[in-house]
Chain A
Amino acid sequence: MRNIFERAINTLGWARLIIAAFLLVLFCVAPFVGIRIDTSLSDILVRVGMNGIMVLSMIPMIQSGCGLNFGLPLGVIAGLVGAVTSMEFNWAGFFGFFMAIVFAVPLAIILGYLYAQILNRAKGDEMMIATYVGFSSVAFMCMMWLLLPYRNPLLLWGFGGTGLRTTISLEGFWLSILDKFLSFRIGSLFFFPTGTLLLFALACLLMWGFFRTKTGAAMMATGSNPLFARANGVDTDQMRTLSVIISTVIGAIGMVVYEQSFGFIQLYMGPFYMAFPAVAAVLLGGATINRATITNVVIGVILFQSILTMTPSVINNVLKTDMAEVIRIIVSNGMILYALTRKEQAKK
């Protein structure tokens, strides 16, 4: 009996067990404090679809040994440029959404390649440098949003300002285009964002398939044992570069999906902290800093988004205060800290 208990803890990990138990308590308490479970579930599903692909973008870099992708803002920037460029031409509907991705992907490839060149020169110190590469690129783009020659008045500041707006609404372009695709309702409050979740599932499937190809296996070998990989004729630097490019491209696509669901494009300092929730989610799902699976991503994003949705509403109703932000900060950074300090995965 005790053995089973210990095994469960070892496989699941204390942190996840505590979070899951906490979540269970929240769901039990919710109906008694006047929160509808169906609305909450619907919110969670929408948020899972919204963030899922960005969390998925963590996998290639973790698997190739580049660590947690704190440089996700690079992918996010590509996604923002794609979206803004597509809107510049007033393209709406599925075409607009598709063209946003078309513009975003090549930029993500270029940024990812440059990013990889940096990371390959900083083996062992990737995470810190990735964080600051992300931050400085966001700050650099702040200047670019002012200077880039966009002309569509819907995107620009009206009177007396220069450059793009801080927040641009997707209303009339491709707002919720994917969320509404094949979506259905049960009752008046439960909404199922079929399109977004389908795309997330498809992306997971592709990623699963990729790691079963020869290139995917070489990438995993690069992460788990670089010397062994090199002895088998794998160009490890090239594999790392490829993994960073894939992560950045998925991050860019994830950002476009996020935008259509969120409804707004936030420029300037908007993407600054975007990496942290995604990193925390994959860690919450049981990934470590050098191993991550699709299951980790799916479980992680569901747990993390459930916590983010349920905690504020339940706590607000019980204590009549808005503690959402504080809890988000403590849970997500606590999760990252926990992963960074676990002994068994300390690097040689």
Chain B
Amino acid sequence: MSKKNISFSSLIISNIVPLIFLLFSIAAIPLSGLTPTYLVQEMVTRLGRNTFLVLSLLVPVMAGMGLNFGMVLGAMAGQIGLILVVDWGIGGIPGLLIAALVATPLSILLGYFCGFIMNKAKGREMVTSYILGFFINGVYQFVVLYCMGSIIPVSDPELLLSRGYGIRNTMALPGLRQALDGLVSVEASGITIPVISLLVTLVFCLLLTWFNKTKLGQDMRAVGKDMAVADGAGIPVERTRILAIIISTILASYGQIIFLQNIGTINTYSSHEQTGIFAIAALLVGGATVARATIGNVFMGVILFHLMFVVSPLAGKNFIGDAQLGEHFRVFVSYGIIAVTLLLHAWKRRRNLLAKQEGKSEENREDDVS
């Protein structure tokens, strides 16, 4: 009986973040005045659109490298793939596949670079990958704004700025727009379901589960637990960490392609910037921590985070009379949730460390007595 109680309260404590978001959404949904049909439709669309991006974060967490803020590198690779495919005039599923094909080597290259840099900054992986995201953003802008159309051939003048080189700020994706979502879409009681996007996401979930069981997956978990021990066991630590980041970067590039085919337009210079923060915030809202993230966290997180995202502007408008406030609020929540989770993680790690030290000194004392 008492054991059950303990497990119940520990269940609440370990899921405190998703619970708070659930309660917030339950309170805000009636205030927003949105119909259930609309909300379910939004959630289904967003599950198809965003889940893949969030999935790309799982592998580095497993390898003990924390939240991979460097996933924006993959997003940029995906965008370059899409830009080129639009220029070559390839539409539909072939277009998306070729975009992914172009993005893959780029992602491997960027992922290798990111992993290499992170190996040089062990223990500071997150802040380093974060700054790396900014740095590569500068390189991306240089390539897209100055090299495309001058060094890299771009034949479609529609895509270029009026000065003759550099890609326009916004770019429609004709032929690619909802190519994956619309391939097979089922209507069920007024809700359109993008079957293929969801299916692709599910297949990758299964692949990730399978990957966990492979030798490489086991190695990654060992590296994540303790690098020194893993090294002692003969696991190439640095190589394994680089591989984790490469996998994450590739998945992020595919995720960005899926995301953008749903949206239908690219903001060439800003689409990727928000990707990382929203994916990470969603994962954390789903109850993941810096050290532990599961596929369940991904789905839970995408639903709860985007529910908050859809509901809060209208709830803000009806509650205080200002939609702007609700929009600021959701940005605040995205950043705030990351800050709080990081803090809780650091705090817990520190307490464990202190407890370990105290335990040790107590052991010593006992030795002295005996």
The reply on B192 being an interface residue by CB < 8 A is: no
The reply on B128 being an interface residue by CB < 8 A is: yes
The reply on A114 being an interface residue by CB < 8 A is: no
- Report, as a range, how many residues of chain A touch the other chain: 35 or more
- Selecting from A103-111, A177-185, A336-344, the interface stretch reads A336-344
- Cβ-closest chain A residue relative to B330: A139
The reply on B331 being an interface residue by CB < 8 A is: yes
The reply on A121 being an interface residue by CB < 8 A is: yes
Question: Does the CB pair A139–B332 fall under 8 Å?
Answer: yes
From A70, A123, A334, A346, B135 is in contact (CB under 8 Å) with A334
From A162, A334, A340, B121 is in contact (CB under 8 Å) with A340
Say how far A66's CB is from chain B's closest CB, in angstroms. 13
Q: Tell whether A330 pairs with B335 under 8 Å between CB atoms, given A128-B130, A129-B342, A142-B328.
A: no
The reply on B120 being an interface residue by CB < 8 A is: yes
A-B contact pairs, 5 of them (CB 8 A): A122-B347, A129-B346, A333-B131, A333-B132, A333-B138
Question: Does the CB pair A340–B128 fall under 8 Å?
Answer: yes
- Cβ-closest chain A residue relative to B118: A341
Consensus secondary structure, chain A interface: helix
The reply on B225 being an interface residue by CB < 8 A is: no
Consensus secondary structure, chain B interface: helix
Q: Tell whether A121 pairs with B346 under 8 Å between CB atoms, given A131-B130, A336-B131, A337-B128.
A: yes
Q: A127: which B residues are within 8 A, CB to CB?
A: 124, 127
Q: A333: which B residues are within 8 A, CB to CB?
A: 131-132, 134-135, 138
From B121, B130, B135, B349, A329 is in contact (CB under 8 Å) with B135
The reply on A140 being an interface residue by CB < 8 A is: yes
A133 to B117, CA, bound (A): 25
Q: Give A residues with C-beta under 8 Å from B.
A: 70, 118, 121-125, 127-129, 131-133, 135-136, 138-140, 142-143, 146-147, 162-163, 276, 321, 323, 325-327, 329-330, 333-334, 336-337, 340-341, 343, 346-347
Q: A162: which B residues are within 8 A, CB to CB?
A: 322, 324
Q: Which of B138-191 contact A (CB under 8 A)?
A: 138-139, 141-142, 145-146
Q: Which of B89-126 contact A (CB under 8 A)?
A: 117, 120-124, 126
From B142, B325, B331, B346, A147 is in contact (CB under 8 Å) with B325
A131 to B131, CA, bound (A): 11
Say how far B148's CB is from chain A's closest CB, in angstroms. 13
- Cβ-closest chain B residue relative to A325: B141
